[in-house]
Amino acid sequence: MDAIATSSAGPSAIAVERLRKVYKGVVAVDGISFALAPGSITGLLGGNGAGKTTTIAMIMGLVTPTSGAVTVLGAAMPRERYRVLHRMNFESPYVDMPMRLTVRQNLTVFAELYGVEDVSARIAALAADLDLTEFLDRPNGKLSAGQKTRVALAKSLLNDPEVLLLDEPTASLDPDTADWVRGRLEAFCRRHGTTVLLASHNMSEVERLCSRVIIMKRGRVEDDDTPDRLLARYGRRNLEEVFLDVARGREREVAP
């Protein structure tokens, strides 16, 4: 599928161009291209091994592409990452924050790293917003999975990021907590005009939050469109069915 090279709103917040990553002869990402408009929320779908995490890692500058280019807020990644890292943030279940440190200590350290001005006020505001106030002086290791996820989310929002990369932000949460987290995340991003790239296996989460969905399979972009158009094109009622069609290689309907 052809990439969206530029957004209609102007320069892209994230631009990925013919991006390829090969690990010891194994192609993890195979020449993908897409561009995300500022303020948009985009879902990145794909089965295990589709290349989502590698793609996000290249966007963050943690992995050097074999070829192709990634630009975030005008900075070429990973070479110019320090120009923009303070304007980005991320959350992933594959990283943790130190267990022995309290929530306040963890958030303070990261606020200082990101150069947040009034650290105490910022932490207090986020804690109030994410219902963390009563846990601020509790060690991170003593929190439940849902509370830890909220702390990780607070960390990812500390610097009011212009670009937010979320890798399975509600994994391991019960449906109620996950829904609560999605609501807070959605409100924050709409309020601040944050550009979000959301990798998820949760299709209802993607349907709720995302105005655009990129589906990856075996390192390639298999489809890229709005949720409504994807549903119409595959003749399905929800994204989960679309995902299964793509994952199992079933042909899509010809778009009108």
Choice from 9, 18, 67, 99 touching other proteins (CB under 8 A): 99
CB 15 within 8 A of CB 71: yes
Q: Contact with other proteins (CB under 8 A): which of 40, 71, 89, 202?
A: 89
Phi, psi of 200, rounded to the nearest 5 degrees = -155, 155
Closest approach, Cβ 241 to other proteins, in A, equals: 31
Q: Rule CB under 8 A: is residue 136 a binding residue for other proteins?
A: no
Question: Rounded to an integer, what distance in angstroms lies between the CA atom of residue 94 and that of residue 155?
Answer: 15
Question: Cα(42)–Cα(197) distance, rounded to whole angstroms?
Answer: 5
Does residue 108 interact with other proteins by CB under 8 A? yes
The residue within the footprint of other proteins, chosen from 44, 116, 123, 189 (CB under 8 A), is: 116
Among 98, 175, 193, 235, binds other proteins (CB under 8 A): 98
Q: Which of 101, 124, 143, 247 touches other proteins by CB under 8 A? A: 101
Under the criterion CB under 8 A, does residue 82 sit at the interface with other proteins?
yes
The residue from 113, 128, 145, 187 that contacts other proteins (CB under 8 A) is 113
The span of 2-10, 105-113, 168-176, 183-191 binding other proteins (CB under 8 A) equals: 105-113
Cβ(63)–Cβ(21) below 8 Å: yes
Question: 12-15 contacts: CB < 8 A, separation 24 or more?
Answer: 12/36, 12/37, 12/38, 12/71, 13/37, 13/38, 13/39, 13/40, 13/72, 13/73, 13/162, 13/163, 13/195, 14/59, 14/70, 14/71, 14/72, 14/163, 14/195, 14/197, 15/69, 15/70, 15/71
Per CB under 8 A, 20 contacts other proteins: no
Q: Which residues bind other proteins (CB under 8 A)?
A: 21, 23, 28, 53-54, 57, 60-64, 78, 82-83, 85-90, 92, 94-101, 105, 108-110, 112-117, 122, 139, 155, 159-160
